[in-house]
Structure formats: structure tokens, C-alpha cells
Amino acid sequence: MAYVAVKGGEAAITNAHRWLAEDRRGDPAVAEVAVDQVREQLSLAVDRVMSEGSCYDRDLAALAVKQSRGDLPEAIFLMRAYRTTLPRFGYSQPVETGQMAVRRRISAAFKDIPGGQVLGPTFDYTHRLLDFTLAANGGAPVEPAPQAVEPQAYPMSTIASVFAHEGLLETDQPTTDAPEPFDLTREPMAFPAGREQRLQALARGDEGFLLSLAYSSQRGWGSTHPLCAEIRLGEVAVEFTPDELGFPIEIGELTLTECQMISTVTGNPEVAPQFGRGYGLTFGHCERKAMSMAIVDRALRDAAELDNAAPCQDQEFVLYHSDNVEASGFVQHLKLPHYVDFQADLQLVRRLRREYAARESAMKEAAE
Amino acid sequence: MSSGSNKPERYYNYAYLDEQTKRMIRRAILKALAIPGYQVPFGSREMPVPYGWGTGGIQLTAAIIGPSDVYKCIDQGADDTTNAVSIRRFFAQVADVAVTEDTGEATIIQTRHRIPEKPLKEGQVLVFQVPQPEPLRGLEPRETETRAMHAYEEYGLQYVSLYESVAAYGRIASTVGYPTMIEERYLMSPSPIPKFDNPKMGDNEAILLFGAGREKRIYAVPPYTRVRSLDFEDYPFETQTWEENCALCGAEGSYLDEVILDDAGERMFVCSDSHFCAERRAAGHVGSMADHALAHLEDDQPAVEPA
């Protein structure tokens, strides 16, 4: 009864959902993982789901990770499908990453910069050796990291401010009469894409896709010779101006990762040679993503001037294919039934084969 | 189907989308109807089903459906295919709407890959799920280019492609998603329906709406519109035909699915349109394998599980 599997039907779907729920739970003899455990102990998964899910809510992201059994693109999809139903109150004030309460800030451009190099909680210099004590006595208390003797500088000066007095680094001037920013969640992609549309698409874009694009750029497919001027991780305040008040009030706090990539000298008859910038920003701690985003942002800025753009410099290629909810859905829709289409193809191929056979036998007769 | 208002799904707005989003989609639909065959960009939303699984069609349906509608959903022509079942359940729950398998009774029919065999009537809306709205995409990957080609009515590339197919295979080898010209102005993808269904589109009494969620485009063929499948004088457009009739209902000239019966290559052909086939069988039409378990299987399955 192979046909039953193809036709599926009500009962099959219901039962498949039950089986899925059972598999999600795993062995009932093992304690169920709680959403707060996911939130606290799988925090980088939560960060990625918030970033690419475009929704800053640690509890919901943790729930999505749990519900999706750790399949992060699936968790991101759950977040997106939830966020799209939320009412919109308006735009916050732009967050000031210069005012960030920094937990990590490093620059690869200078040995030391004002505020110093702050490693923070990073995997960077760990040896990637499986820690079997985590498996053996995962419940043992973790020794707290020592407190610094001197308090950290606040605000921590940005790389832009370090360069500012020489004009070595291009700066983005705030436009006073700017229209409301493009909103990718409400409007379809349009080309040529403005910077805000590009940055939104990259911020929502799949980490793996952007990582590979950034890597391809480094290997020479549209190279931007990037240098990591600054990465900072920490908390920023979110301010919102309600119509009733007319002045901004603080409504919450976000953890952000910001990356400034600087690249090869640019310049033209109007502008003196200076370093160009690429920008990366994510919710939570998503350093790999923020760095990849910054490199791709920089690469995309070259696109308009190039005839033979590399993949990472091609707006349509990058922006149309970076969203993993779109990509995952469309790739996986191939498992939906296609037997009407296939029957049409089958008919054509059978017909072409008959014609081919007829030609072959005619040739054979002619030869004999 | 009983009211779904106490189910979790109804914590969302009626028919899932918020009213502002529905208005935005309706405006896009009106524009699409005013410019037949033109692809209207719209602010497609993330839906609770994956892209590629009917998000465009679902948004169109959500924007036009009301409690008095009767909703039918088919995939590959059949009401009981898994994704059709899933989408029909969704609207039964979020829109408290009556569902049916009867093509004649439905006011909104959402479809993937087929147009029902029974001719549609005025007042009906056929909603197509569209994976790739751009008929020229296979020839030109850039959206900026294809939009310009439509604007200038520059369709030479499409004809060259059909000609190349004739040169290579001796015939126009396109089988599904066969390119159509709407009111002699816009080249339009009919979605991946078999070219068998193309002639049903022209002068149709119903409204044909096409929704591509992932690509964020809506387009339409209003009632009584000219739809021409591209061809050449010496290679005229032709549709699929079968030597066999439907093994269950004996229908000639319906679109057939091929069902493999065993490992020895034994097969039967049955109507792809499951309701068309069931209706014929109910009327006493008999095919060569009318007793096959398949016939009973389809008859036994209710459209919606009792709540």
C-alpha cells in the first residue's frame, strides 16, 4: 500500500505529530530539559536564534530551541513565525554602541587602544579538548572569575573615535532629514538595495552562509583585505519616545555584538585616501556572524562599481539567498508531492525515447 | 467542523493575519487584477508553514476569506494529499470556515500544481501557490533584468528558448509551468501546473489569483481574460494526452497520475483530480480496475477529522 504513504491524510499527520513529540522528549527516564536551563546553559544557541529570528526574547528563543530539538534553523523559523504576528509600536531611538557596558572589546589594528584589550568570555584561546569533567561532574560549582582591580573605562572609546582626529577612517554622517528606514520585514526586497536594507538582510541572514561568503572573499573571490578594527560585546540601553511623553525613556536593555572591519585604502578625486568600513551587528554574542556580516557588508559596497562581481559582491546573489528560513523552506519543499509534474516529465521522456528508438532503427535499416 | 474559536490558533486574529496586513494584500490583489499578468511586489509575511509550502497561497486566502466562504484545498489535484490536508485544517481552525472537497460547492479553491477538471463558475476564486513567479527566471537570474524585460515587453529570449527546445528535441519540451501571454501584454508563469491545464485559464469565469510568498509577488488573471500559451505556427501548442483512461472511473481526457503497483513494472493510471474521479464513480462510471483498494481508500477518508 505504497499509495497510502503518498496520499498521507488526516490520521497520518496526527500520528506523525505524536511521534515527533515523543522523539523530542527522548528517553522519559532522563530528566526533561527546562527552558531556563536552555536559556542559561545553551546561551549561544539562544543568541543565534534571537539574531536570525529577529526577535530579542531569551525565554522565547530558549523555548524555540527546546521545541525544535536543537535544530537552530527550525528554532529561528519558530521565532520568525511568532514575531510576524506581534503589533508594532514604532521605532526606538538608535542604540548607542559607544555607550555600551562592555564585557569584551578587542582590536586587531592596534597593540593597545584607549580602554585596553578586554578578552571577556571567549573561546578564542581555549584548547579544544573535550572537558570530560563536564560529563562526569557537570553539577560541580564553577569557580568565579576574578574581578579586575581597576574598574574598566566607561564609556569605552570606539575605534572610530581613535581614528577620528586624523580622518583616516571613513565616517557615516547621520542624515537629519532621512526618511523612515526601509523595513525588510514589511516590504519586499528591492534593488538596488540601500545600505539599511542590506544590513537588515545580513543581520537576519544565515550565519553559515555569511561565514562562507566572508571566507570566499578572504580567499580572493572579491577580496576586501579586511582587518578587524574592533569587536565589542556588552549591554546597551534601548530608548523609546512614546507619543504621550514626547521625550525618550529607557524601556530595556539588549546584549549586542558589534564588529567594525576596516579594509583597503579607498579614495577618489573628492575624498582623500582613507580606510573603508564594513559593519556587523547581532543580538547576543554571535561573534562569528558579526565578523562575517562586516566583511560581506564591505564587499557589497564595492558591487556598484564592478562589472564582474564575485558572489560576495553581488547584491542579488547575497541578499536573495542569505535568509535560512526562505532557503530551508524552498529546498525542503521538494519533499512535497510532485507527481503531477513528474508525470508530465515522464511522459515527455518516454516520448523522446520512442522517437530516439525509431530514429536509431531507421538508421540501422538504412545502413543495412 | 465545529468552531475553532477556543483553540490556541484563535489566539491569533481571524484568518491568522492582522487586519492591516490583509488590507495590504487586498490592495496588491486589486492592482494585480487591474494589470493582468503583472507581478505586484507585496510585503509577504512569515507564515507558520515553511516557504515553498504554500505561504503565498495561504496569505491570499487569508486576505479574502470570510466565515461564509466554503474552502477547498488541493495539492496535485487531490484533496487528501498531506499538505492540502494541513492547509485545509489551518483555515478550518483559524477562519471557522466550512471546508469541502466539492469543486462546484467551494467559493475559494486553493491549489498547488493543478486546475480542477470541472469548469469553474463566476463567484469562485482559484488561489494558486507559486514557487517562482518569474517566468523568465530560468533564462535570466537577475530580478533587476527581468523587471526591465517585462517593462519593455522584451520577450525574445523566451521565444529563443522555445526554439532551442525545438532544435534539440524536435518539439517544445516544456511540460509544466508552460509560459503564457496574458492579454497580449505580460508574460506570466501559470505556476507549475501541467500544460494540460493551460487552456483552462483563458476566458475562465472565475478569478485566478497567484501568490508567491517567498518571492513576495502577487499576480492575477481576471475573469474572461485572454491567455495564450506561447508556440510557433509550425509547432503549435499541444497538451498532454494518455493512451489509457482512468482505471477507477474510466474518464478519458482527464489528467492522470501513474501509480506503480508492484516491482514488475505493473501500473495503473488514475485521475489526478480526486474529487472529479469520485464524483464520476458516484455517478456510476466504471474503470478497468474500479475495485482497486485505492477507490475505497479515497472514499473512506473524511475531509476533516471530526473535532
| pLDDT score for A2 | 30
Hey, is the C-beta of A1 within 8 angstroms of any chain B C-beta?
yes
Bigger pLDDT: B89 or A264?
B89
Identify the closest residue of chain A to B263 by CA–CA distance: A2
Whether A221 contacts A302, CB under 8 Å: no
Contact A80 B46 (CB under 8 A): yes
Hey, is the C-beta of A333 within 8 angstroms of any chain B C-beta?
yes
Hey, is the C-beta of B168 within 8 angstroms of any chain A C-beta?
no
What percent of chain B stands above pLDDT 70?
Answer: 93
Q: HSE on the CB side for A337, CA within 13 Å?
A: 30
| pLDDT score for A1 | 28
Contact A329 B55 (CB under 8 A): yes
Question: Which tens digit of pLDDT belongs to each residue from B44-75?
Answer: 999 999 999 999 999 999 999 999 999 999 99
Q: Which amino acid belongs to residue B268? A: M
The backbone region for A53, taken as left when phi is positive above 0, alpha when psi lies in -120 to 50, beta otherwise, is alpha
| pLDDT score for A16 | 92
Q: Which residue has the cell 509560459?
A: B179
Binned average pLDDT, 10 residues per bin, chain A of 368 residues: 46 91 96 97 98 97 98 98 88 93 93 89 93 79 85 87 82 78 92 93 98 94 88 97 93 97 79 88 98 95 73 94 97 93 91 92 89
A322/A315 Cα distance (integer angstroms) = 11
Question: Which tens digit of pLDDT belongs to each residue from B119-128?
Answer: 999 999 999 9
* Average pLDDT along chain B: 92
- Count the Cβ atoms, other than its own, within 10 Å of residue A221: 15
Catalytically active residues of B, by annotation: 37, 246, 249, 271, 277
Q: HSE on the CB side for B111, CA within 13 Å?
A: 32
| pLDDT score for A208 | 98
| Backbone phi and psi for residue B36, each to the nearest 5 degrees, phi listed first | -55, 130
Chain B residues within an 8 Å CB radius of A74: none
Confidence of residue B301 (pLDDT cuts 50, 70, 90): very low
B91/A219 Cα distance (integer angstroms) = 50
Grid cell at residue A314:
553581488
Most confident of A7-11, B7-11, B87-91: B87-91
Confidence of residue B168 (pLDDT cuts 50, 70, 90): very high
Q: Which amino acid belongs to residue A238? A: V
Identify the closest residue of chain B to A17 by CA–CA distance: B86
- Sign of the Cα torsion B26, B27, B32, B38 reads negative
Here the contacts of B168-173 (C-beta below 8 Å, separation 24 or greater) are B169/A352, B170/A355, B171/B235, B172/B231, B172/B232, B172/B235, B172/B237, B173/A348, B173/A352
| pLDDT score for A141 | 79
Whether A303 contacts A313, CB under 8 Å: yes
Region B34-50 average pLDDT: 96
Instruction: Assign 3-state DSSP to chain B and report helix, strand, coil percentages, each to 5.
Output: 30, 20, 50
| pLDDT score for A335 | 93
Whether B57 contacts B90, CB under 8 Å: no
H or E segment at B276? helix B274-282
Per-residue H/E/C for chain A = CHHHHHHCCHHHHHHHHHHHHHHHHCCCCCCCCCHHHHHHHCHHHHHHHHHHCCCCCHHHHHHHHHHCCCCHHHHHHHHHHHHCCCCCCCCCCCCCHHHCEEEEEECCCCCCCCCCCECCCCCCCCCCCCCHHHHHHCCCCCCCCCCCCCCCCCCCCCHHHHHHCCCCECCCCCCCCCCCCCCCCCCCCCCCCCHHHHHHHHHHCCHHHHHHHHHHHHCCCCCCCCEEEEEEEEEEEEEECCCCCCCCEEEEEEEEEEEEEEEEEEEECCEEEEEEEEEEEEECCCHHHHHHHHHHHHHHHCHHHCCCCCHHHCHHHHHHHCCHHHHHHHHHHHHCCCHHHHHHHHHHHHHHHHHHHHHHHHHHHHHC
B307/B305 Cα distance (integer angstroms) = 6
Chain B residues within an 8 Å CB radius of A190: 41
Most confident of A175-179, B94-98, B231-235: B231-235
Whether B258 contacts B236, CB under 8 Å: no
What is residue B201's three-state secondary structure? coil
Chain A residues within an 8 Å CB radius of B53: 329, 333, 336
- The edge-to-edge listing of strands for the beta sheet with A249-268 is A101-106, A227-240, A249-268, A271-283
- Flag whether pLDDT at B2 surpasses 70: no
CB pairs under 8 A between A and B: 149
Q: Which residue has the cell 527546562?
A: A34
